[in-house]
A and B are shown apart, each in its own frame.
Chain A
Amino acid sequence: MADAVVTPAAPWRGYLDAPDGRRGIRSWIFSTDHKRIGVLYLWSVLAFFAVGVALGLLMRLESIAPGPTIMSARAYNAFFTLHGVIMIFLFIIPAVPASMGNFFLPLQIGARDVAFPRLNLLSWWVYVTGAVLALLAMFAGGHPPDTGWTFYVPYSVRTDTNVSLAVLAAFVLGFSSILTGLNFITTVHTMRMKGMGWFRIPLFTWGIYATAWVQVLATPIIAVTLLLVVLERVAHLGLFDPVRGGDPLLFQHLFWIYSHPAVYIMIIPAMGIISEVIPAFSGKRIYGYRAIVYSSLGIAFAGYLVWGHHMFTSGMSDTARWIFSFLTFIVAVPSGVKVFNWVATLYKGSIDLSASLLYALSFIFLFSIGGLTGLVNGALAVNVHVHDTYWVVAHFHYVMFGGTGFAVFAGLLYWFPKMTGRMVPKAPAIVAWFLMFAGFNILYLPMFVLGWMGMPRRYYDYLPELQPLHVMATVGSWILAAGLVVLAATLLRALRHGDPAPANPWGARGLEWQTPSPPPTENFEIEPVLGDERP
């Protein structure tokens, strides 16, 4: 036999092979490659998402019947506090910018990395430090915090639970967010490839860029506020506690001056994902590119001016209440403009109904419900009734989970081939979508009704006549969880066994699709070509 010795070419692994041949965990946690840091962040935020989901499922189980079911009132109060802290500070704020933003922003503008790669790595380490502090607050002696994620004074100053530690965790996590934002602003300003003017920047990058400004400008306010809460607890400063001459409303103003813009940190990048996925699977350009860019900037700016709508029943002056109500209605307009442009993009397209697109279309539906029910909250007279009830819980889960959550899954499925070099099988991903979409609505729709019937939020126990709707919500939470498990299993399996992905499996336009899947460490082997059309 005259066998020629054939050395099979090793499969292309791109950046997944570290350039210096290092392997193992150290090649990830000390890497300054924006793609590796993006993947690190992705694993981190998804891990905390799983923890937050588990806490949420247990809370739902507790509420399946009135009276004590599986936990004590103190435990329940700790559960909703940790669910909120984890979902907001450890999952949803970094979810899109720090993971997919990190990975794709430089690729989309044809850059080799972000402007400050080492600062980028530092931001992940700061995130991990904050996460460890949050875990310590949960498990290290004493009682886990029981204030709600909003840390309202004077309760947060008086409770003997681990509030200081939890607040410190949020403080540290804020710095990670600031570093990421700073990096992205500089990168977009200085590292765009030749010929990419401002109105040639892909919409996902625009979203991350607008968000970055909010991160840099708003986060320091929460940092200072949280530090003042610690000082209030330790040194009895008397800023917020009326017993010492402080004002509880001052805390609420400072808290929401950050935490409302933070809502836009959570949603604008998600909208960016939708603005990529919809044209990609419609086989055409986005409708109303400039309108979408301006609406992102408009939301990011106007988002600073509406924090008072969290305080409509706080005792704030009536003048402040109507001004904030007015501005709240104004900020709703640019979100509507985006929705109309996305729907218009589908018109006369050639639509490939992929799993990713199903999640994106679900985003439009669920986010619309979240946004429209937000108008109910924004109207002063009605707010009085629904404030602090399950109506509000349903509203923000439709925006944050139905919106950002579903966009994260749309983005994951869209970019999975690029990030891993593997395709995700379509059928199980669609099964997961169906379970999640059905479960989500069965879980959260009844909450609107509960809230309207007068069920306040953060209630361990409730009136027996409300039980049927609670049972429905709990059953929905199981269906939703089943969908999440199917999706996780599908993605984990595809990581190893998925078919190898071509450079551009969807025929999409962004520069990230001009380089192999997964991209090489230096991002592009040959200079990408910027088409002569806008995205």
Chain B
Amino acid sequence: MNPLVRILGGGSALLVDATFLFILGISFLFLGIITVLMVWFVWRYRKSRHPVAEEVKESVWLEVAWTLIPTVLMLAMFEAGFEGFQWMRAVPADAMTVTVSAQMWKWTFVYGNGRRSPDLVVPSDRPIKLLLHSTDVIHGFYVPAYRIKEDVVPGRENYLWFQPDTEGTFEIMCSSYCGERHSYMRANLRVMPGKEFRRWYGAKTGKRSALGARGIMEDAGCLVCHSLDGSRAPGPTLKGIWGRRETVASDGVEHAVNVDEAYIRRAIREPSADVVKGFRTIMPVEALTEEELAILVRYLRALR
């Protein structure tokens, strides 16, 4: 048992920090000994002061000592890390489960009642278990404030848990490189009092179509890659898209198209069917209702 961890107990942050300080302390001690001896020997036995080197008889005991003592310390450090890790992997039975869905370059959090949110909203009075899913490449779910991280790997379900304790808003980041907008793949962790959370959780969320075109695009993640103001992004800008002449590749064959309603609908339903020249086939399929599609088409027609 590692006493440090036991005394401090508590959340993952304390656990990680205590182990960190334990290892850092030993490290500083060793670095100090090595550096001081090295500098002192170089000074004390410099050629001008000590012109003739003396051969020193080797001591087996010395070799054994500086092999065994570090080995024991290594085992202690391993044990500290292992104890903490076991705690971090043992999910309490009363944890609330939230599914994390990662895609280039957006996080979506899905709750038990089907509620979806771009931020991770949690109550401060319950442990939270996160099930990690990716729809495309490997991402990394990372909350520095809680010292938790796990890769989000397509094709498998990884998990994490943590005990929210401090109310407030914290950064969620992608820690595993996932392409052009990796460093922008962020979200907020919002820890709120249990009562407030339950109100948020139970609140009726209206239909997405009620959000308007901008709201739909925000929610579906379109704006991660498509700008509305003509600026450069991983996808073509939507500004002035209506009637624009684009060169697209369909199954590797290039041809020109005029952007009209049929093209826009197809580009959303089957993103990889016609890929605009100079851009990559990375757009995911987002299920939009007919109502939402109609709103988007109307909006894009007017976006000059």
Contact = CB atoms under 8 A, between A and B. Distances in A.
B58 interface: yes
A384 B77 contact: no
A456 B280 contact: no
Nearest to A336: B70
A151 to B, nearest CB: 11
A325 B82 contact: yes
A284 B45 CA distance: 12
Contacts of A330: 71, 74
A155 B15 CA distance: 33
Contact of B137 (A158, A343, A364): A158
A325 B38 contact: no
Contacts of A72: 232
B182 A459 contact: yes
Contacts of A315: 150-151, 153, 156, 158
A252 B27 CA distance: 30
Given A242-B156, A291-B63, A333-B71, A284 B84 contact: no
A73 interface: yes
Contacts of B182: 77, 458-460
A339 B41 CA distance: 14
A229 B23 CA distance: 38
Contacts of B137: 154-155, 158
Contacts of B19: 379, 381-382
B88 A381 contact: yes
A329 B75 contact: yes
Interface string A436-471: 000000000000000001101111111100000000
B117 to A, nearest CB: 22
Given A158-B282, A368-B34, A456-B142, A247 B147 contact: no
Interface string A359-395: 0010011001100110110111111110111000000
B61 interface: no
Interface stretch (B122-130, B169-177, B189-197): B169-177
A330 B74 CA distance: 7
Contact of A456 (B38, B55, B140): B140
B229 to A, nearest CB: 16
B83 interface: yes
A126 B3 CA distance: 55
A283 interface: yes
B287 interface: no
Contacts of B78: 325-326, 329, 378-379
A351 B70 contact: no
Contacts of A344: 56, 62
A346 B43 CA distance: 10
A504 to B, nearest CB: 16
Contact of B177 (A152, A325, A389): A152
Nearest to A318: B89
B85 A336 contact: no
Contacts of B52: 283, 350
Contact of A349 (B41, B171, B232): B41
B47 A389 contact: no
Interface in A150-196: 152, 154-155, 158-160
Contact of B149 (A282, A348, A365, A384): A384
Nearest to A159: B179
Nearest to A327: B78
B70 A332 contact: yes
A43 interface: no
B178 A155 contact: yes
B92 interface: no
A248 B154 contact: yes
Given A337-B66, A347-B45, A456-B175, A329 B140 contact: no
A167 to B, nearest CB: 16
B150 A242 contact: no
Nearest to A374: B27
A372 B77 CA distance: 11
Interface in B33-52: 34-35, 37-38, 41-42, 45-47, 50-52
Interface in A307-328: 313-315, 318, 321-322, 325-326
Contacts, number: 255
Nearest to B232: A72
Nearest to B176: A388
B183 A372 contact: no
Contact of B27 (A322, A373, A389): A373
Given A74-B180, A248-B154, A384 B42 contact: no
B144 interface: yes
A353 interface: yes
A463 B232 CA distance: 21
A456 B232 CA distance: 24
A153 to B, nearest CB: 8
A376 B23 contact: yes
B205 interface: no
A14 interface: no
Nearest to B140: A388
A336 to B, nearest CB: 5
Interface in B205-237: 232
A4 interface: no
B30 interface: yes
Contacts of A56: none
A461 B180 CA distance: 11
Nearest to A284: B53
A248 B138 CA distance: 8
Contacts of A388: 140, 142, 149, 175-176
Contacts of A385: 16, 20, 144, 147-149
A381 B177 contact: no
Interface string A126-154: 00000000000000000000111000101
B124 to A, nearest CB: 21
A318 B160 CA distance: 12
Given A154-B154, A329-B74, A382 B47 contact: no
B27 A372 contact: yes
B32 to A, nearest CB: 10
A387 B175 contact: yes
A351 B27 contact: no
Contact of B180 (A77, A456, A457): A77
B41 A329 contact: no
A249 interface: yes
25 contacts: A77-B179, A77-B182, A147-B177, A154-B154, A155-B179, A246-B155, A287-B58, A291-B63, A315-B153, A321-B85, A332-B74, A339-B34, A348-B56, A368-B31, A372-B31, A378-B81, A381-B88, A382-B81, A384-B150, A388-B176, A389-B175, A454-B171, A457-B177, A458-B183, A462-B183
Interface of B: 12, 15-16, 19-20, 23-24, 26-27, 30-31, 34-35, 37-38, 41-42, 45-47, 50-56, 58, 62-63, 66-67, 70-71, 74-75, 77-78, 80-85, 87-89, 136-138, 140, 142, 144-145, 147-151, 153-156, 158, 171, 173-184, 232, 280-282
Given A159-B280, A379-B23, 5 more contacts: A73-B180, A146-B180, A282-B45, A375-B74, A456-B174
Interface of A: 72-74, 77, 146-148, 152, 154-155, 158-160, 242-243, 246-249, 282-285, 287-288, 291, 313-315, 318, 321-322, 325-326, 329-330, 332-333, 336-337, 339-341, 343-344, 346-353, 361, 364-365, 368-369, 372-373, 375-376, 378-385, 387-389, 453-454, 456-463
